[in-house]
Structure 1
Amino acid sequence: MTKQADVVVIGGGITGAAILYELAKYNLRAVLVEQEPELAAGTTKANSAILHAGFDAPTGSMKARMNVEGNAMYHELKDELDLEIEWTGSFVAAVDDEEMSVLQELLERGQANGVPGLEIWDGDKVREKEPNLSKDIKGALWAPTAGICWPFGMALAFAENAVINGAEVLRECQVTGITVENGAVKAVETDQGTIETKYVINAAGVHADDVSRMAGDDSFTITPRRGEYILFDKTAQKDLVYSPIFPTPTKMGKGILVCATTHGNVFVGPNAHDLDGSEKDDTAVTIPGMNEILEKARKLVPNIPAGAAITEFAGVRAVSSTGDFIIGHSEKTKGLFQAAGIQSPGLTSAPAIAKAIVGEIVAETGAAQKEDYKKGRPAQPCFRTLSDDDKKALIAKDAAYGRVICRCETITEGEIIDAIRRPVGARTVDGVKRRTRAGMGRCQGGFCGPRVTQILARELNIPVTEVRKEMRKSYMFYDKETQSGGKA
């Protein structure tokens, strides 16, 4: 494969997808390359799913600016792209006078950052809204513009709109090198071939420093910081919380929180443990980590029911050596733009980061906005939320919507087929799960997993042994006769 593009985006997480979405508004040939079969397979799929208000980052930092701008942008994008967002507000809780003074600092910093509506509430007022919080909580900072969201779905929404508007997404396409001549980008080399281009946007997450070095820029490094989580069954929410509850922050991050999800679950986490450079993709969970999370979370919500846990997971955050986001053109290589070190509040900041970087490229190229730009993306049927009459009408139109595949979440075959056939469709079992919730319930795919595998094989026209769980080589089965699948 040899192809030409005006801009190549490296990395298919929330930041890369938002950048592609922004590029697709202009007359630019834009290509996104992602090394895994699914987008959002890294940090985006395993984070706290919070749209932060913007009071935490130091005033004047890139994190602070992008956070506040991104939060405001999501208020508009929610309807335009049909994003799963609930504007719940958030609390930072304090248990003593020293922590109450930290709340005052956060309040003043947030006001300087331009965050609206911040207030400090006493403990009684906080517990009126969240009655299961500890009686030791003396007060909390209330941030009404914060919210919770579904990050995987948001990354897909950005990518789907971009594809509808002519952008290209290449999955299972690993970058192997970047050609630079006379100090300027000329091409991106991948295991699928060469993409000739004058502009590269590096949104490679924990691997952003590796990609940057490929282009001759070694001005920063990325330290991977792992965070572990525990997710609870929906039945536990009545005993837990309905909004994000943070402890007072430390130098390692915002701390171990207790938070609801847009789907009615609650999770606790993350902890924060720095890894070395060889462990950038280490998402293992540990018994000490689980114990640490529960112990610290119970300082906020004492009656956390460990027996209601349905799964544990971990994500890896990209911590830059600069201590801030690294955004904009490289000082060393012409045509290279960085979107690196995008740790928290990176999810909230993504659309603002995209607008800033694409704005620079548009200014350089003089690219015009597309006259035929299409807003939005195809509607996603959600069977379980429909009225009985609408369910009957949908089944009459397509009988596949009458076959429930996932009993825990009431997900139908029709929804799974739609997830596979969408503009950036599912290619793996976890890709189906994150698009539809098939496999996200109490049994965690124990019932529906085999049927989802069969549907994927049929729709993708591949043998069952070629179906993968999520990553490139995560085959679900191995065929001894053909020696295909798990051994490939």
Structure 2
Amino acid sequence: MMEEKKMYDVVIIGAGVSGTASARALSAYDLKICVVEKAEDVCCGTSKANSAIVHAGYDAKPGSLMAKLNVRGNKMMPQVVKDLDVPFNPCGSLVVCREEEDEGLLQELYDQGIANGVEGLKILNKEEAHAKEPNLADDVKAALWAPSAGVICPFLLNIAYAENACENGAEFRFDTEVQEIERIDGGYRLITDSGLLETKVVVNAAGVHADQFHNMVSGNPIHITPRRGDYCLLDKTAGNLVSRTIFQLPGKYGKGVLVSPTVHGNIIVGPTAIEQEDRESTATTREGLDQVITKSAMSVKNIPMRQVITSFAGLRAHEDGGEFIIEELKDAKGFVDCAGIESPGLASSPAVGEYVKDIVVNILHPSEKADYKSTRRGILDPKTLSAEEQDALIRENPAYGNIICRCEKVTEGEILDAIHRPLGARSLDGVKRRTRAGMGRCQSGFCSPRTMEILARELDMNMSEITKCGKGSGLIVGKNKEI
């Protein structure tokens, strides 16, 4: 059980990119910070299942907070990924147009982007577009080129925010679900399934659940609809299909089905935008995957869908107003919403953290830390070293010579690092998101037992206690001699 009535300066609900970016920004101040997450790890909600795009910023309406934070986040991202040692590919993006009568919509996007402060935008004719991407569908007539867009690893960015915040003193409580929020003198009491927490300020970064917490304390309700996005991930052998993110003209429910490289060399295709009531269900559907396959072919030809190695779905937190809500509530002082953070939330995350930090600092007026550390080192990837450097590393630590995941060539040394670093992995998915062990062609079919053995050994647990992703996801249900 949690100790009761421990007063924090700030409690952040949710350990996705918005919550952890806010925690990192606030950890530069003398504040007692706690991040509360109902799952067993960071990056278990919307942040783990998205397109991994750093959007340029031409989509959002000029003057909106979404536009402001998208463009600001895009400009911050190169320094953020350098400081946090996160892979990033500033590959640019194309929005393609297949009908001449729709070229006016490209011009509207261009004009929006210019109004938002996006740099380098250009409308390309058919020849220019196909010269950039030879595998565009033959009937593509024009495209909007945005050189400031890029692709990133959403897992590693989220984990890096959290690790950096943790190293600067922020506390993280996992497997802790907030059930009720009450006002008390000087702040709020959070009633969780693990006890009580008291805090001067609440930051509500709870994704698809953010409206529920908002409505507990405010007389001005908001409403979030989960939008499911289905994706297909293609094997690295398809990685040369496109070298930039290919969007279709956006519609009522978003930016449409994209085809994009990933920072790890795969191709990702999706998402759909299917509204649903269930805030937890992330199961793909035949209908959704059929949409992905059919619609992606409208922008890129000859997509080798037989090379799909996995499909997945994520939920986007769409607020009815279609806008980011980041503010201290007028009728609930000290309660700060960070709600409705759908796409371009990942691209905006550095700016979201900065924006939340400014609001909280204005409430609490803390002093800055003299010893704040803005950088962190990621998990060493031996594949990035020269042969001589790899040999020296293995002589120093033989675990780096023991390949555990053959598809992604992940070593035992990397898995040990993932387990023992700040906020280390405690499950198969925790290891996977940090090292890519299990993300390759066989989708953990061969490496999972070996990874489980390492987790059990290093965490001093029984193999039967190791899970895929926390509570209710145990992998061993018995012994075969007993069945």
Same fold by TM (over 0.5)? Answer: yes
Q: Which amino acid aligns with 2:40?
A: P
Q: CA deviation at 1:187?
A: 1.9
Q: How far apart in 1 are the matches of 2:388 and 2:200? A: 54
Contact 2:379 2:435 in 1 (8 A): no
1:112-157 CA distances to partner (integer Å, 9 max, x unpaired)? 0111110001121112121111111111000011000001100111
- Mapped to 1, the partners of 2:287 and 2:179 lie a distance apart of 37
In 1, the alpha carbon distance for the partners of 2:220 and 2:411 equals: 49
Q: 1:330-389: per-residue Cα shift (whole Å, max 9, x none)?
A: 122111000000001111111111111211211222211100111211342101221111
CA separation of 1:281/1:470 partners in 2, compared to 1, >3 Å: closer, same or farther?
same
Conservation of the 8 A alpha-carbon contact between 1:95 and 1:136: yes
Match of 1:149 among 152, 156, 161: 152
Q: Residue 193 of structure 1 corresponds to which residue in structure 2?
A: 195
State whether structure 2 residue 472 is matched by structure 1 residue 473. yes
Name the residue aligned to 1:295. Answer: 294
1:215 aligns with 2:217: yes
The one-letter amino acid of 1:190's match is T
CA contact (8 A) 1:122 1:140 kept: yes
Q: Which residue of 2 aligns with 1:161?
A: 164
Instruction: Report the Cα distance in structure 1 between the residues aligned to 2:368 and 2:78, rounded to whole angstroms.
Output: 23
Residue type at the aligned position of 1:271: T
1:464 has 2:466 as partner: no
Q: How many residues align?
A: 478
Identity %: 46
Say whether the 8 Å CA contact 1:383–1:410 is kept in structure 2.
Answer: no
Give the equivalent residue in structure 1 for 2:53.
Answer: 50
Distance 2:18 2:265 in 1: 26
The one-letter code matched in structure 2 to 1:65 is K
Report if the CA contact (8 A) 1:178-1:185 is conserved: no
Structure 1 segments of 4+ aligned residues over 4 angstroms from their partners:
none
Kindly provide the CA deviation profile for residues 97-122 of structure 1, in whole angstroms up to 9, marking residues without a partner as x.
12211000000010001111100011
Distance 2:396 2:194 in 1: 40
Matched, 1:91 2:94: yes
Correspondence 1:78-477 to 2 at 5 A: 78-181=81-184, 185-238=187-240, 240-276=241-277, 279-477=278-476
Letter in 2 for 1:52: H
**Separation (CA, whole Å) in 1 of partners of 2:419 and 2:131:** 44
SS in 2 for 1:200: strand
* Unpaired runs of at least 5, structure 2: none
- Provide the secondary structure at the position in 2 that maps to 1:198: strand
Q: Distance in 2 between matches of 1:204 and 1:217?
A: 19
Whether 1:16 and 2:19 are equivalent positions in the alignment is yes
Distance in 2, Cα, partners of 1:49 & 1:274? 21
- Checking the alignment, whether the CA contact within 8 Å between 2:334 and 2:363 is kept in structure 1 is no
Matched, 1:39 2:39: no
Does the C-alpha gap of structure 1 residues 218 and 480 become closer, same or farther in structure 2, counting only changes over 3 Å?
farther
3-state SS of paired residue (1:342): coil
- Of 50, 65, 68, the match for 2:68: 65
8 Å Cα contact 1:229/1:313 also seen in 2: yes
Cα distance in 2 for residues equivalent to 1:440 and 1:217: 45
Secondary structure at 2:191 match in 1: strand
Structure 2: distance between partners of 1:354 and 1:134: 39
Structure 1 Cα separation of the partners of residues 220 and 55 of structure 2: 31
Residues in 2 aligned to 1:81 and 1:181: alpha-carbon distance in whole angstroms: 37
Q: More displaced, 5-14 or 361-370?
A: 361-370
Q: Which amino acid aligns with 1:37?
A: E
Q: Secondary structure at the match of 1:318?
A: strand
CA shift, 1:480, in A, is 7.1
Q: 1:10 and 1:49 mapped to 2: Cα distance?
A: 23
1:216 is displaced (CA, Å) by: 4.0
Task: Tell me the TM-score normalised to structure 1 length.
Answer: 0.96
Distance apart, 1:262 and its partner CA:
0.2
Return the letter of the residue paired with 1:256: V
